[in-house]
């Protein structure tokens, strides 16, 4: 993997995505940071203005096919390649199955599953042509166990995992690494304020997760770290 690397990170405006942008840029990489909230992206870029690497902004709604195609083409045109894609964009709705509207279901699947499909397709052909590249998918432990109030989210995340397992099998002989990451509870804005206030001290911190994932990003060419589960020390949080 070349250094500095070209890294495209979605969901970059907050949480794990933001922390990942920070750590890659602090280590000298060039990061294409994508999210829908442009103001937060601009604040992130300003915070990293004196860092060793570079943060470039590519606002994008990952569920919108035309936007993903345009942004993917722009990144490839500007930098020549994407060495490392991090699919981190995610949304959820903490509602029961019967309480979840069709609109809420569609939005959760649109971002967490369709978005991952679109961004990966935008960079994978070039990675295959070059014979190397990494796609890291920030999934969720909710896709592996049963949490009430998360049916749409669990369906989208477990579907994304299954899809990327297939992509791994289809591309591993072409030099591509597919890394699926399933974190437990992380202290990010995806949780309600009351949940963060009550349980935040038990949750993992985004910067802690990002540091671990950065180290995993340095895996040698001879190795593929396929599946990672990261959980709070206390285990499941009943929130």
Q: Two tokens at 67?
A: 């936007």
Assess whether 199 carries a catalytic annotation.
Answer: no
Catalytic residue from among 141, 147, 153, 199: 153
SS3 94: coil
Distance from C-alpha of 195 to C-alpha of 52, rounded to nearest angstrom: 36
d(CA 25, CA 113): 27
Distances (CA, A) of 172 to 50, 175, 190: 37, 6, 33
What's the CA gap between 19 and 209, in Å, rounded?
8
Cβ distance 150 to 142 under 8 Å? yes
Strand order in the sheet with 133-138: 54-57, 30-33, 6-9, 84-87, 133-138, 176-183, 227-230
Which sequence positions are flagged as catalytic? 153
């Amino acid at each position: 993997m070349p250094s500095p690397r070209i890294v495209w990170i979605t969901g970059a405006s907050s949480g794990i995505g933001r922390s990942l942008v920070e750590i890659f840029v602090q280590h000298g990489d060039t990061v294409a940071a994508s999210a829908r909230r442009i103001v937060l992206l601009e604040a992130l870029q300003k915070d990293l203005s004196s860092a060793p690497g570079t943060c470039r902004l590519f606002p994008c709604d990952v569920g919108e096919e035309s936007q993903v195609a345009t942004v993917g083409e722009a990144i490839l045109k500007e930098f020549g390649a994407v060495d490392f894609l991090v699919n981190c964009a995610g949304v959820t709705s903490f509602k029961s199955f019967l309480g979840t509207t069709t609109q809420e279901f569609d939005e959760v699947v649109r971002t967490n599953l369709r978005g991952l499909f679109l961004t990966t397709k935008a960079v994978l052909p070039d990675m295959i042509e070059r014979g190397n590249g990494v796609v890291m998918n920030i999934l969720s432990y909710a896709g592996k166990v049963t949490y009430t109030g998360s049916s749409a989210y669990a369906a989208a995340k477990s579907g994304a995992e299954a899809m990327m397992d297939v992509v791994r099998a289809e591309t591993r002989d072409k030099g591509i690494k597919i890394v699926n990451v399933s974190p437990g509870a992380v202290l990010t804005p995806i949780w309600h304020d009351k949940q963060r206030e009550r349980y935040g001290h038990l949750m993992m911190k985004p910067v802690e997760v990002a540091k671990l994932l950065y180290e995993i990003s340095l895996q040698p060419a001879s190795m593929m770290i396929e599946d990672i589960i990261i959980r709070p020390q206390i285990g499941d949080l009943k929130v």
